[in-house]
Amino acid sequence: MGSAACVQEVPPVRHARALELISAIAHKDAVPADIAAQFRRERFEALDVQVAAQAQAPAAPERRRGAEHPIDVLHFTRPTPPAVVSRIVQRAPKVPFVLNGVIYDPDDVRRFDGRELHFVVACGGDYLVVVDDRRVMGQWWQSVYLSALIDAAPAAPASLNQAWLYEDARLGGVALALNRNRGYADLAEVGRGAFRQGDWHARLTSLALLGPGVCVLHERSRWQGSSLTVFERTDDLDPFGWSRRAASVETW
């Protein structure tokens, strides 16, 4: 998915088909060969998913350092500064990935150093789908987030509306809770507890979702850089190249 120089109108049918494709990826209803063929047929390089509420969404209020921030739909599509993107060094996963209609071996990810990639875990972790256009991925995040707000179930106890982030595999070690529809903008500002040294920057290794349906890890603070999107409990981020890598995180 190459980036477009300007926003282009895309027929509503194409919008729906694009969302159906990415949703099929997320919910394990497609295999890598099907996805690759579909990307080639659809030629999504100018994909736009218009989110009606985007222009009216208020900016997220300032919060104290290290605190949870409310989700701001506008930051989903906000571009990462080119100087940050140019310094990105990809970390090889242990599973194959699909990008722009091509199925790659894990080590091939280093071909994309200096580019911002957005990884989506699919099919129970058997492979990854990769989007190389921040705008496209951000518009999908917006759509899923706003849909989740509309379809939200009655309020559940706070303990059942959190993502739990762990420093060790298999939900082990110190844990960090993150409430639904919130994010940590900089894990370097989030302490590990009164009796533990250090912060949560580049420490997350596994996670569980109790209520939220989506968790997005970002390689840079302020939700910038490459990302990993997961939809279910993940006992080890290492197969996807994301163990001890996240600098910011959000969930809804």
Which class would CATH give 12-251?
mainly beta
User: Using one digit for the tens of pLDDT, what is the confidence trace for 64-78?
Assistant: 567 899 999 999 999
What are the pLDDT digits (tens) for 136-159?
999 999 989 988 887 766 666 666
Q: Which of 119-128, 133-142, 155-164 has the lowest mean pLDDT?
A: 155-164
Residue 126 pLDDT class (50, 70, 90 cuts): very high
Distance CA 205, CA 221 (A): 17
For residues 157 and 14, what is the distance between their CA atoms, to the nearest angstrom? 39
Q: Percentage of residues in the chain with pLDDT exceeding 90?
A: 60
Let me know: does 134 contact 116? Beta carbons within 8 Å: yes
**pTM of full prediction above 0.75:** yes
The rounded distance, in Å, linking the Cα atoms of 83 and 193 is: 34
Q: Is the pLDDT of residue 79 over 70?
A: yes
Q: Mean pLDDT, the chain, as a whole number?
A: 80
pLDDT at 40 over 50: yes
**Whether the predicted pLDDT of 12 surpasses 70:** no
Residue 39 has a pLDDT of: 52
Question: Domains of the chain: which residue ranges?
Answer: 12-251
Judge contact between 136 and 103, C-beta under 8 A: no
